[in-house]
Amino acid sequence: MEKFERLDKIISTQTSYSRKDIKKLCRSGDIYVNGQVCRNSDAKVDPQNTEIIVCGEKIEYKRYVYYMMNKPKGVLSASNDKNAPTVIDLVPENLYRKNLFPAGRLDKDTTGLLIITDDGDFAHRMLSPNKKVYKHYIATVDKELDESVKSEFENGIVLSDGTVCQKAFFEKIGPCVARVQICEGKFHQVKKMFSACSYIVEELRRVQIGSLKLDENLQEGQTRELTENEKLLIFDTKND
């Protein structure tokens, strides 16, 4: 990877400024590089070792960011939508930057742990069924669960359209409540799996990805940055 990058590219990836905005700010003397006014938006600098100040704010360069969100109901797991609020709309201004997207989707009425990032390779590794990163859900259904559901889930549910799901882990934790672990992410998969067993999912919440658990102190709709250790926990594939 080239060590030096264009100044406007660096700033645009770290902030909400467009390249057009950055060019104007350079012309007006509002961008400083290593203590000197920089009027050339296409100047090449080393983002790791250069102090960049834009309108009095120091740019803390990070190639990628990784956030944990406690997703609320009624919000789409999408980067943008003309007709409904999205999870990216909920990201606080101080954490927002271009190219953020949800790594995997939770249904509009599903709540809980969602990872938001701008690192496509990271998201792919987390979501690929081959990596066996299990996503843990708490599901509440419309009637008491029969013990036979466990074996059906673990043998691989066949959906109504003939799709065969990979083995899923199932634990009954209440009369109508179960903990389910899947390593796939098919559209409405958990709901469709229960539907194949003649149950309707009334509430669904994701509580864990890999070994990373949803922060209990994170209120619905809130977002915070992952620690380095938490990023590693996602790829810790033991099931607990």
Catalytic amino acids? 107
**Backbone angles phi and psi of 192, in degrees to 5:** -70, -35
Q: What is the CA radius of gyration of the chain?
A: 22
**Backbone angles phi and psi of 58, in degrees to 5:** -75, 135
Return the DSSP state at 153.
Answer: H
Contacts 24+ apart (CB under 8 A), 234-238: 234/115, 234/126, 234/133, 234/209, 234/210, 235/125, 235/126, 235/131, 235/133, 235/210, 236/210, 236/211, 236/212, 237/131, 237/132, 237/133, 237/134, 237/210, 238/211
Amino acid at 145: L
SS3 content of the chain, % helix, strand, coil (to 5): 25, 30, 50
